Amino acid sequence: MEFLLQPLTLLTFLPLVGVLVLLFVNAEQKTAIRWIAMVTSLVTFVASLWVLSMFETSNPDLQLEAKYAWIHVAGWNIYYYLAVDGLSILLVMLTAFLTPISILSTWKAVEDRVKDFMIFFLLLEVGMMGVFLAQDLFLFYIFWEFTLVPMYFLIGIWGGPRRVYAAVKFFLYTMAGSILMLLAIIYLGIQAQNTFNVPDLLVRLPDLYATGRIPADVQMLLFIAFTAAFAIKVPMWPLHSWLPDAHVEAPTAGSVILAGVLLKMGTYGFLRFNIQLFPDATVQAAPWIALLATIGIIYGAMVSYAQSDVKKLVAYSSVSHLGFVMLGLFALNAEGVAGAILQMVNHGLSTGALFLLIGMIYEQTHTREIKVYGGLWKITPIFGTIMLIASLSSMGLPGLNGFVGEFTILLGAFGSKAIGSPWYAGLSALGVIMAAVYILYMFQKVFLGPAGEITHHHELKDLNWREILTVLPLVVFMFWIGLYPKPFFDILAPAVEKLLSALPL
Amino acid sequence: MAPPVNYTDLYTILPYIILTVWACLLLLVDAFLIPKSSKGITAFLAALGLAISLGYSVTQVGIQSTGFAGMVTLDGFSTFANILLLASGLFGVALAYGYTKRMGIERGEYYTLMLFSVTGMMLMAQASDLIIVFLALELLSIPLYVLSALARKLDSEESGVKYFLLGAFASGFVVYGTALIFGATGSTHLISIFAQAASGMTSNLLLTIGAALLLVGFGFKVAAVPFHMWTPDVYQGAPTSVTAFMAAGAKIAGFVALFRVFATAFPAIAPDMTAILWAISALTMIIGNIVAISQTNIKRMLAYSAIAHAGYILMAFVPYGNEAVMPIAIAAGLFYLVAYAVSNFGSWGVVIALEKAEGKGLELDDYAGLAKKYPALAIAMTIFMLSLIGFPPTLGMVGKFYLFRSAIAGGFSGLALIGLITSLISAYYYLRVVVNMYMKEGDPEIEREPWLGFTTAVTAIVTVVVSFVPQFLFLLASTAVLR
């Protein structure tokens, strides 16, 4: 039972301690509830730093394993198996980092049923950690599906006017993909003598592929089944239609986590499972995924530009940004994949910041229509400045984080053997320009020019200390990654190299 | 000359004998000793009988024997089923205790009838001769007909009569099927049927028709499409505590008999049966789940959900003719029956908590606002709904994983895909309950009854906790192979 005390188990389940405490707190004691949730998530963040301190950067393998033969009866070989490597450590850190920030952002925004909110939020953190750490497909599936439940409640209870519709759509859409993955997981498990853990599968699969026990076309079907689950989560065009609804209706903290972490579960799934488990299919499918990614980049940017609601604009921009991540991943070379992983983090930071900031102004004005704003910078200079930084980071201005990620991805995509044509990268580069268009357009309409109708009629206050404290950590990282990304690349490079060396390229 | 009854015979069906004797005595005690005003005592005595029988059943884990010249069998399979059935009986009593009082239908017969029905169900699990199967089927059914009509209101009586008429019809199919099988093989004994069929001396056509007719009878009991027509009306009309008991007990009994009869006697005609089972399973999953979407009454919705779940269990049983997969199919079926029974009692418990006299409080809209007022009950209901969808972290998810594994291992990935897609559909209507509870405003009132609360809490906890430590249940289910 020592697995219960291992660092990754503690990291994953620490938020549960907070949940247990919260269960016994009177629902009226809102401040106490907020502090309990805050402290829990901060302790979890400290735990993640502890994990990071034990992480060996030069080691490409899974580390800090917590492994326990969980269901080993009746022909089952299911492990409780958590481990971390260069592919996942940054995302684990991102999760632990964004959760306290999100909780801090709800301090004034959530007044109704605070206790339930915090419980669901901490449960969500457990699920997300589990997704990034689980190395057994069964365990992964449990965490993967479980994240839906708290998010469903967060959108459905604390969301905007169409929250129920958005919550149910989010739930069903995501589940639709997951069931195909479940089918594939069970099939894989049966073929590999009831093994579900990824390292063992990686040992057995080459043999199964070579001997034809899993023929090439079946491998492609398995790849597609996993892709269905992950592509919906990312979301890749044309499976993105749940995203704007979920984002717009979700409460601010929900949007931050949704954009910052939940979407990354999809791209991470491709990285950890699709590419590793189905190498031949991956190489075969790479041009097609690149095509979809490119369409997503252009489409997302165009639709963003057409939005009149700021939150929707940022939501659609995620489709575009995640397209870059997918393009980088399926470039299947060191630059592309490393850039993609870094871009996952970048998108979490910049889009997370944008959602936070939009939430802050929305709390005051209760509208997100672009046309009613204008001239905001004069009235709220701090807000305007931070918004500018986040916007520039999102559109990929050199010196900020977005540039590093997108540039590396495009570099990878241009020279990618797997994609086979530089055209995708070329078209995607257009997406960077289009991002500048819609973001600057939004910024200009909201912050510059003559005062709009809201700016006239409202006594708008600038950010207070709590709000600045909420976004400041994100801004710090935007500059850090933008100016000195080396430590981030160093941490993921060995694992990426190992991942790619197994591919038949 | 039949051999005299000996100790082994009696030991083989010991829990059954205990419960039967107990039920007979209870009938007398209830009639003559227990005053009309305190029928609660009868409930406790009935529960005591179930508990004692359950205790003996547990001591039989791992023991195998046959009795009465091979007419009944005791094996891991039957013990597993007996324990599950007796536990279901206990939950049934717990749900009925407060409910019958509140609804003014508290009568001593309620509990004795329930005990008799449980004995029939247990006999279904142990029967290894088609004659005993038929006997057990009637023994379990007749008390249920009476129980359905017990409320003496119009819809309750309609429910009882409907159930009786269609049930009698289904029993007829079982008898006719038995006769044809006897005609084909010269025996009603499951092992002899198998031996005859394997020898190749029999008319496979006659045997197949006979088996198909049996399937009609069992299909009726487990509420598989197209033999499901009675289910929504009966489930809706019957007193809710009866519905809860029936939804779990009759389904378990129907399935264990189906498993034993088909796996023991009919492997030889598996290719034909597989096609039929495939179609029934697919239809049941599709129709059950799709029709459930349009229901506005929670009892009818859960009735269609019960139909759909019969489809999932059948799905795992489709590859029963494959020797390597058959043990998995049966173990998966048993495992899922546990998951289903637990979530079933829990969800019906919540329904009972909200039900008012005159059939009020049964619409889905009546659940609006439940989470704000009664958070614990809403959490419990959410857990049951997730479990019925097959969502983690619940027992239903682990169970469904097992079912799909059986179907896919048997090479029926297409059927598994239908099962998964219909699960997705089912998520829609189960979530509607959750939406109402958490995301709509309302002012529901619930009845607080200690045993009801107890049942709901226990089933909710079991649903979640056992999903994390399902090893023992896996072990039990997988060792519960047929002899």
d(CA B6, CA A146) in angstroms, rounded, equals 54
The tokens describing B78, both together, are 């039957």
- Cα separation, A396 vs A225, whole angstroms: 33
Asked if residue B390 is part of any domain, the answer here is: yes
Mean pLDDT of chain A: 89
Give the model confidence (pLDDT) of A434-467 as tens digits.
888 888 888 888 888 777 777 666 777 887 888 8
Contact (CB<8Å) A164/B372? no
DSSP state letters, A257-314: HIIIIIHHHHHHHIIIIIHHH-HHHHHHHHHHHHHHHHHHHHHHHHHHHT-SBHHHHH
Task: Write out pLDDT tens, residues A237-296.
Answer: 888 888 888 888 888 888 999 988 999 999 999 999 999 999 999 999 999 999 999 999
pLDDT at B2: 58
Residue A1 at interface with chain B, using a CB cutoff of 8 Å? no
CB pairs under 8 A between A and B: 86
Range of the domain at B78: 7-479
Domain ranges of chain A: 278-500
Q: How far apart are CA B342 and CA A392, in angstroms?
A: 54
| Mean pLDDT within A422-443 | 88
Angle between helices A401-414 and A310-329 (to 10 degrees): 40
| A119 band by pLDDT with thresholds 50, 70 and 90 | very high
Is the CB of A149 less than 8 angstroms away from the CB of B391? yes
CA-based nearest residue to A265, from A87, A387, A412: A87
Per-residue pLDDT, B3: 62
Which residues of chain A are within 8 Å of residue B479 when distances are taken between CB atoms?
A: 74
When pLDDT is averaged across residues A201-213 and rounded to a whole number, the result is: 88
In this prediction, residues A79-104 reach a mean pLDDT of 92
Confidence of residue A325 (pLDDT cuts 50, 70, 90): very high
pLDDT surpasses 80 at A1 = no
Going residue by residue through chain B, which has 483 residues, state the pLDDT in tens, using 9 for 90 and above: 456 778 888 899 999 999 999 999 999 999 888 888 888 889 999 999 999 999 999 999 888 888 888 899 999 899 999 999 999 999 999 999 989 888 888 888 899 999 999 999 999 999 999 999 999 999 999 999 999 988 878 788 888 899 999 999 999 999 999 999 999 888 899 999 988 888 877 778 889 999 999 999 999 999 998 999 899 999 998 999 999 999 999 999 999 999 999 998 888 888 888 999 999 999 999 999 999 999 999 999 999 999 999 999 999 999 988 888 888 899 999 999 999 999 999 999 999 999 887 778 888 888 988 888 888 999 999 999 999 999 888 999 999 999 999 999 898 989 999 999 999 999 999 999 999 999 888 888 888 888 999 999 999 999 999 988 888 888 888 887 765
Q: Is B438 on the interface with A (CB under 8 A)?
A: yes
Query: How many domains does chain B contain in total?
Result: 1
Give tens-digit pLDDT for B324-343. Answer: 888 889 999 999 999 999 99
Tell me the chain B residues in contact with residue A181 when contact means C-beta distances shorter than 8 Å: none
Distances (CA, A) of A279 to A195, A205, A265, A504: 19, 10, 20, 7
Q: How far is A74 from chain B (nearest CA, A)?
A: 6
Residue B1 lies in a domain: no
Task: List CB contacts (< 8 A) between B285 and chain A.
Answer: none
Upstream peptide bond of A15 is cis (omega within 30 degrees of 0):
no
CB atoms within 10 A of CB B56: 17
What are the structure tokens assigned to B307, written together? 């139909």
Do residue B435 and residue A145 have CB atoms under 8 angstroms apart? no
Q: In whole angstroms, give the CA distance from residue A246 to residue A154.
A: 10
Decide if B468 is inside a domain.
yes
pLDDT(A476) > 60: yes
> Is-contact A327 A283, C-beta < 8 A?
no
d(CA B385, CA A76): 26
If residue A65 lies in a helix (H) or strand (E), which one and from where to where? strand A63-71
- The answer, yes or no, to whether residue A108 has pLDDT greater than 90, is no
pLDDT in tens, A136-187: 999 999 999 999 999 999 998 888 888 899 999 999 999 998 999 999 999 9
Whole-number Cα distances in Å, B446 to A181, B35, B355? 40, 29, 8
Q: How far is it, in rounded angstroms, from Cα A245 to Cα A148? A: 15
What is the CB neighbour count within 10 angstroms for residue B252? 27
- In terms of Cα–Cα distance, which of A357, A229, A354 is closest to A304? A354
What is d(CA A160, CA A169) in angstroms, rounded to the nearest whole number?
Answer: 14
Q: Which residues are CB-contacts of B25 (< 8 A; sequence separation ≥ 6)? A: none
Whether the CB-CB separation of A14 and A47 falls below 8 Å is answered with yes
**C-alpha dist (Å) from residue B435 to A180, B246, B295, B365, B431:** 25, 28, 15, 10, 6
How many other CB atoms sit within 10 Å of the CB of residue B419?
28
Residue B257: per-residue pLDDT = 93
Alpha-carbon gap, residue B234 to B148, rounded angstroms: 7
pLDDT in tens, B428-478: 999 999 999 998 888 888 888 889 999 999 999 999 999 888 888 888 888
Return the pLDDT at A64.
Answer: 87
Nearest CA in chain B to A194: B405
Does B153 reside within a domain? Answer: yes
Q: Assess B417–A contact: CB distance below 8 Å, yes or no.
A: yes
pLDDT in tens, B261-284: 999 888 888 888 899 999 999 999
Rounded to the nearest integer, the mean pLDDT of chain B is: 90
Neighbours of A209 (CB within 10 A): 18
pTM metric for this prediction: 0.92
Nearest residue of A to residue B415, measured between CA atoms: A183
